[in-house]
Amino acid sequence: DAKTTQPPSMDCAEGRAANLPCNHSTISGNEYVYWYRQIHSQGPQYIIHGLKNNETNEMASLIITEDRKSSTLILPHATLRDTAVYYCIVRVGFGNEKLTFGTGTRLTIIP
């Protein structure tokens, strides 16, 4: 079973920041938080991952709470191409552990 809880859907206006929450209250100390997204009919795309520090890359920022029980993925300036299903996944970051996908959040960017 997926170890995360996400809202089923969200809307965001184009050009605004999209903030996608994820609850992972049972996360273990050696588990990372990963975010993937899946644009309609394509394979999932890796976005970002983190352990306990906030992370930023060219696609997004990941904010993890101090107790690590929740996190937020931030897309700073959402575009129509960011419309997708976003998956928050926790897993051990080594040993080739599988990805366990939940149902994700369907993010719709509104023009």
Positions touching other proteins (CB under 8 A) are 2, 32, 41-46, 49, 85, 87, 93-104
| Residue number with CB closer to other proteins (74 or 101) | 101
In the complex, what is the shortest distance from the CB of residue 38 to other proteins, in angstroms, rounded to a whole number?
8
**DSSP letter at 97?**
P
| Residue number with CB closer to other proteins (21 or 102) | 102
| Residue number with CB closer to other proteins (47 or 78) | 47
Return the structure tokens found at 99.
């990805």
* Helix H or strand E segment including 90: strand 84-92
In the complex, what is the shortest distance from the CB of residue 15 to other proteins, in angstroms, rounded to a whole number?
26
In the complex, what is the shortest distance from the CB of residue 93 to other proteins, in angstroms, rounded to a whole number?
5
β-sheet with 45-50: strand ranges across: 9-13, 105-110, 84-92, 31-38, 45-50
| Residue number with CB closer to other proteins (67 or 94) | 94
Report helix, strand or coil for 89: strand
